[in-house]
């Protein structure tokens, strides 16, 4: 036993097989936690996906299982529901099997959804022995009707990241195109109408020939069109628009009709917006910049033109110049010299670049970082197929150089783009595609640059494991953690603009812990059910890769001992001394038997590095944030201190009692009373002067007809006494008598010498 433990420690330190007790990790072993995923085709999970091309953008990426479930739920009380559901699940399994049988890494694991669905249905019908055959076809048809989906059915393979990115990109662009066309076509129609209206109202438009044509053949001989033309031309002057305006409108029409961003009509050819190199995208953007500026400007000017709000230079009327009006001609002269802002760029299509990380060199990396830092609406997809590239990872594991790291090429760009704060960043494995579809949409619809770093799982070095499992394992083992950095959350007031809002890591499994742990059930030699917690670490992930098998050694089950501890436990100590325990991982072979393998020190150190990197991601994402934890400790200590001191307690209680002793604030009703009494006193203060209850005036013109200098309307068109001396007391009394709502109060006569005062005073009594 001692000797065997020595052998194990020796392997751990040197990765050399000393003694015969250890076996090499040969084909057929996979991490123990994969035990349940032996046959993916018999499980129901997110994949395959439907890249849907019909319906709303929210339904652009759908899961086949989800579609089937929704369709079955929609059947509700249908009497055939059970039969249809059963066939639906069978068809789903059949499709999954067909796509998977093509094998991971080959480009054919996708196809048209409708074709595949019908093919699967007819195959099931042929194979079916028990059921009546027409019922499978019927179920397939009914389910298909409920799906309301059409497009490609795709499973995980090396081409999937680019396929999904292009699909989501095109859905976003289609939406943009719809908005753009909706706006531009309406504007064009109205611009044309302006020009046509001028012609219709001109002499040409009223020429005898035109008039004749407009009447039609039935009455062509009834009228004398020469005379009609003559009359119309003389009677109604032509409406002419200025040459400047006509030229401007014609120019706008030309720009809108000939632009190649979102062509209107079938003549113009669309620009290409999907590129293979970031530099090409930037170059294309620069070449088209002038046209883009011209187009955005044309949209703005056209909108002003059609609403008649465009102000030409030198034609500002007095009223508007008094309000500080600027002329639009001057504004638009220099439009776009500083480039277009995000809002304006959002009108135009985005650029998409799809790139493989294995083809990245230093220059291309720089170009990507540069392109992202320009703030232009460029979306870059960087696909990583191999996280443990020999050129970087294996050299490091074998040689003395210790630079670079896991997926170092894409990580480098991810980190530098997050630092730029205005780039949308999404990093994830393709296995998360369905769960992250909303984030993907947000990124594609984001008005600035976006960077998507995706691991495809199709490494080509992982034995017979399906790409989906490898991709999922990369997320699970923290080798390629999911992260989203969404700067658009800046703009949303409700979400706030802090790092915690924008940086999202909680889509990773067991986000609060170093490694995700799962319970693992198995049977021992005497067939007793056993269960233990297993952490899925980077070491498990590396064990899947053929190229690293010499770093693992299988220990025969007879030689298992307490000195073998799990990788996650051994990472807890960081001692440099001679180890007393060796790290190990649990594996299963093709028969499903459990084995344990020792991990050598280099793999353990790599795992430790990965754990440290995850730790810093956690901190950035606000999980176990060290600053926050320190602050919490500090506050706790202070609170404890306050609680311990009785004098402090009394001091804090003091202001509360003061507040209670304060007199109650004046209540609302009291305040109203005061105001009302003051109003009343104002009302009473008219004395002997004449006055009108202006607020009750109905603008009936009675008083203003009596004397328009004495009675006038205010800005609300209600009467008041403008000048009591502008007329006689008689007029005041007559106006009061004429006022139907009796709101004129004549008061006392201002001129005592006016004739007939006695009679007038008597008549005025009822109004005072």
Partner 1 sequence: MNTTRMNGTGTGIYGIRTNGIGTNGMTEPININDCLLQLYEEHYELEDYQKGVPRWCTGCGDNAILTAVQRLCRDEALPPEKTVFVSGIGCSSRLPHYMNTYGVHSLHGRALPIAEGIRLARPDLKVFVNMGDGDCCSIGAAHWIHAIRYNMNMTVMLHDNNIYGLTKKQASPTSPIGLKTNTTPRGSYLEALNPLTVTLGVSNVSFVAQVVDWIPKLLYQTLSAAYHHKGFAFVRVIQRCPEWLPTHLDEYLHDPQRILLLQHENGLTIDAELSKRYTKIEEHDPSDLNRAREVASGADPIPVGILYRNDSVPRYEETRSDTRLRTASLVKNGLEAEFDKFTIWPEVDDRSSTGHARQNAQRESEYGS
379 vs 376: CA distance, rounded Å: 9
Size of the site for partner 1 (CB under 8 A): 64
Angle at 48 between CA 47 and CA 52, to 5 degrees: 115
Number of residues written out for the chain: 768
Instruction: Report in angstroms how near the CB of residue 621 gets to partner 1 at its nearest.
Output: 19
Q: Give yes or no for residue 325 binding partner 1 (CB under 8 A).
A: yes
Residue 163 is classified by DSSP as H
Instruction: Report in angstroms how near the CB of residue 177 gets to partner 1 at its nearest.
Output: 11
Percentage helix, strand, coil for the chain under 3-state DSSP, each rounded to 5: 50, 10, 35
Q: Give yes or no for residue 701 binding partner 1 (CB under 8 A).
A: yes
Report 680-699 residues binding partner 1 (CB under 8 A): 695-699
Task: Kindly tell me which residue out of 4, 87, 167, 442 binds partner 1, with binding defined by CB under 8 A.
Answer: 442
Q: Give yes or no for residue 239 binding partner 1 (CB under 8 A).
A: no
What DSSP letter does each residue of 725-740 carry, written as one string?
A: GGS-HHHHHHHHHH-T
Q: Give yes or no for residue 342 binding partner 1 (CB under 8 A).
A: yes
Q: Give yes or no for residue 718 binding partner 1 (CB under 8 A).
A: yes
Rank residues 416 and 718 by Cβ distance to partner 1 and give the closer one: 718
Rank residues 120 and 744 by Cβ distance to partner 1 and give the closer one: 744
Q: Give yes or no for residue 446 binding partner 1 (CB under 8 A).
A: yes
- Give the torsion sign (CA, 620, 626, 630, 636): positive
Rank residues 386 and 702 by Cβ distance to partner 1 and give the closer one: 702
Per-residue string for binding with partner 1, 299-318, x by CB under 8 A? Answer: xx--xx---xx-x-------
For the stretch 284-293, contacts whose Cβ atoms lie closer than 8 Å and that sit 24 or more positions apart, written own/partner, are 284/351, 285/351, 285/376, 285/378, 288/261, 289/339, 291/259, 291/260, 291/261, 292/261, 292/340, 292/345, 292/348, 293/335, 293/336, 293/340
Instruction: Report in angstroms how near the CB of residue 492 gets to partner 1 at its nearest.
Output: 5
User: Measured between alpha carbons, how far is residue 708 from residues 84, 249, 701, 703 in Å?
Assistant: 86, 49, 9, 8
Task: Kindly tell me which residue out of 172, 539, 544, 582 binds partner 1, with binding defined by CB under 8 A.
Answer: 172
Q: Give yes or no for residue 672 binding partner 1 (CB under 8 A).
A: yes
Report 459-498 residues binding partner 1 (CB under 8 A): 488-489, 491-492, 494-495
Rank residues 208 and 738 by Cβ distance to partner 1 and give the closer one: 738
Task: Kindly tell me which residue out of 265, 314, 343, 400 binds partner 1, with binding defined by CB under 8 A.
Answer: 343
Rank residues 127 and 492 by Cβ distance to partner 1 and give the closer one: 492
Rank residues 292 and 470 by Cβ distance to partner 1 and give the closer one: 292
Q: Give yes or no for residue 331 binding partner 1 (CB under 8 A).
A: yes
Longest dimension (CA), the chain: 140
Rank residues 36 and 696 by Cβ distance to partner 1 and give the closer one: 696
Other CB atoms closer than 10 Å to residue 759's CB: what's the count?
Answer: 11
CB 429 within 8 A of CB 454: yes
Considering only the stretches 62-70, 211-219, 637-645, 701-709, report the one whose residues sit in contact with partner 1 under the rule CB under 8 A. Answer: 701-709
Rank residues 148 and 488 by Cβ distance to partner 1 and give the closer one: 488
Rank residues 154 and 340 by Cβ distance to partner 1 and give the closer one: 340
Instruction: Report in angstroms how near the CB of residue 444 gets to partner 1 at its nearest.
Output: 9
Task: Kindly tell me which residue out of 441, 513, 520, 522 binds partner 1, with binding defined by CB under 8 A.
Answer: 441
Rank residues 491 and 593 by Cβ distance to partner 1 and give the closer one: 491
Phi/psi region, residue 548 (left: phi>0; alpha: psi -120 to 50; beta: rest), is alpha
Write out the two tokens for 350: 């985005």
Helices 160-200, 243-258: crossing angle, 10 deg rounding: 150
Helices 278-306, 362-373: crossing angle, 10 deg rounding: 20
Q: Give yes or no for residue 296 binding partner 1 (CB under 8 A).
A: yes
5 membership: H or E segment, kind and range: helix 2-14
Q: Give yes or no for residue 186 binding partner 1 (CB under 8 A).
A: yes
Q: Give yes or no for residue 700 binding partner 1 (CB under 8 A).
A: yes
351-356/378-384 β-pairing = parallel
Write out the two tokens for 127: 């194979």
Per-residue string for binding with partner 1, 19-58, x by CB under 8 A? Answer: -------------------------------------xxx
Task: Kindly tell me which residue out of 8, 173, 259, 344 binds partner 1, with binding defined by CB under 8 A.
Answer: 344
245 vs 195: CA distance, rounded Å: 10
* Residue 525: half-sphere exposure toward Cβ, Cα within 13 Å: 3
Q: Report the SS3 class of residue 597.
A: strand
Q: Give yes or no for residue 447 binding partner 1 (CB under 8 A).
A: yes
Phi/psi region, residue 758 (left: phi>0; alpha: psi -120 to 50; beta: rest), is alpha
Rank residues 550 and 716 by Cβ distance to partner 1 and give the closer one: 716
Give contact residues for partner 1 (rule: CB under 8 A).
56-58, 172, 175-176, 179, 182-183, 185-186, 189, 296, 299-300, 303-304, 308-309, 311, 320, 323-326, 328, 331, 341-344, 346-347, 438, 441-442, 445-447, 488-489, 491-492, 494-495, 672, 676, 695-702, 705, 715-718, 738, 740-742
């Amino acid at each position: 036993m001692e000797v065997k433990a020595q052998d194990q420690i020796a392997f751990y330190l040197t990765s050399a097989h000393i003694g015969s007790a250890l076996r090499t990790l040969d084909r057929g072993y996979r991490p123990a936690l994969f035990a349940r995923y032996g046959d993916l085709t018999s499980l129901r999970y997110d994949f395959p996906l439907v890249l849907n091309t019909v319906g709303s953008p929210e339904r652009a990426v759908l899961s086949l299982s989800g579609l089937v479930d929704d369709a079955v739920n929609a059947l509700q009380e249908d009497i055939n529901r059970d039969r249809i559901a059963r066939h639906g699940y069978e068809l789903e399994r059949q499709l999954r099997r067909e796509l998977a049988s093509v094998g991971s890494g080959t480009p054919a694991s996708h196809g048209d959804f409708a074709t595949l669905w019908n093919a699967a249905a007819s195959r099931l019908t042929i194979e079916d022995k028990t059921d009546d055959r027409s019922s499978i076809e019927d179920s397939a048809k009914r389910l298909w009707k409920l799906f309301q989906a059409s497009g490609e059915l795709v499973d995980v393979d090396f081409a999937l990241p680019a396929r999904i990115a292009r699909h989501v990109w095109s859905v976003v662009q289609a939406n943009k195109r719809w908005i753009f066309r909706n706006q531009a076509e309406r504007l064009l129609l109205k611009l044309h109408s302006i020009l046509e209206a001028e012609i219709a109202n001109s002499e040409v438009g009223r020429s005898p020939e035109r008039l004749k044509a407009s009447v039609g053949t039935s009455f062509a001989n009834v009228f004398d069109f020469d005379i009609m033309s003559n009359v119309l031309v003389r009677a109604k002057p032509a409406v002419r628009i200025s040459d400047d305006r006509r030229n401007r409108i014609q120019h706008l029409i030309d720009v809108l009709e000939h632009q190649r961003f979102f062509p209107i009509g079938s003549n113009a050819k669309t620009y290409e917006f999907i590129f293979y190199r970031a530099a090409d995208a930037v170059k294309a953007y620069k070449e088209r910049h002038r046209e883009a500026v011209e187009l955005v400007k044309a949209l703005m000017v056209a909108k002003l033109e059609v609403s008649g709000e465009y102000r030409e230079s030198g034609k500002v009327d007095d009223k508007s110049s008094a309000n500080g009006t600027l002329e639009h001609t001057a504004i638009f002269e220099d439009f776009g010299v500083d480039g277009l802002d995000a809002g304006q760029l959002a009108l135009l299509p985005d650029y998409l670049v799809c790139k493989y990380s294995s083809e990245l060199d230093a220059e291309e990396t720089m170009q990507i970082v540069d392109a992202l830092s320009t703030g232009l609406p460029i979306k870059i997809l960087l696909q990583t197929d191999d996280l443990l590239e020999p050129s970087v990872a294996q050299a490091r594991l074998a040689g003395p150089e210790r630079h670079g790291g896991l997926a170092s090429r894409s990580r480098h760009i991810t980190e530098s783009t997050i630092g730029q704060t205005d780039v949308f960043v999404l990093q994830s494995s393709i296995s998360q595609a369905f769960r992250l579809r909303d984030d993907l949409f947000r990124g594609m619809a984001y008005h600035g640059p976006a960077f998507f770093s995706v691991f495809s799982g199709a490494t080509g070095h992982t034995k017979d494991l399906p790409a989906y499992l490898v991709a999922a394992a990369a997320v699970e083992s923290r080798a390629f953690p999911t992260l989203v950095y969404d700067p658009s959350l800046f703009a949303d007031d409700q979400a706030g603009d802090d790092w915690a809002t924008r940086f999202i890591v909680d889509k990773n499994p067991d986000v609060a812990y170093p490694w995700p742990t799962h319970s693992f059930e198995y049977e021992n030699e005497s067939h007793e059910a056993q269960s233990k917690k297993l952490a899925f670490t980077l070491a498990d992930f590396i064990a899947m890769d053929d190229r690293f098998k010499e770093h693992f050694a299988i220990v025969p089950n007879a030689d298992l001992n307490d000195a073998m501890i799990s990788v996650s436990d051994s990472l807890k100590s960081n001692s440099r001394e001679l180890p007393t325990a060796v790290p190990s991982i649990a594996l299963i072979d093709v028969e499903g038997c459990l084995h344990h393998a020792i991990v050598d020190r280099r793999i353990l150190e790599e795992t430790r590095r990965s754990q440290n990197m995850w730790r810093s991601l956690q901190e950035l994402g606000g999980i176990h944030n060290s600053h926050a934890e320190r602050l919490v400790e500090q506050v706790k200590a202070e609170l404890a201190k306050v609680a311990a001191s009785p004098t402090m307690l009394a001091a804090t209680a003091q202001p509360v009692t003061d507040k209670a002793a304060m007199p109650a604030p004046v209540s609302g009703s009291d305040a109203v009373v005061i105001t009302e009494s003051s109003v009343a006193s104002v009302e009473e203060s008219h004395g002997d002067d004449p006055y009108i209850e202006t607020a009750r005036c109905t603008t009936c013109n009675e008083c203003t007809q009596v004397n328009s200098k004495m009675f006038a309307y205010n800005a609300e068109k209600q009467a008041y006494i403008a000048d009591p001396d502008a007329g006689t007391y008689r007029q005041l009394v007559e106006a009061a008598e004429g006022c139907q709502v009796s709101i004129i109060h004549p008061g006392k006569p201002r001129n005592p010498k006016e004739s007939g005062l006695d009679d007038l005073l008597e008549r005025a009594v009822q109004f005072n």
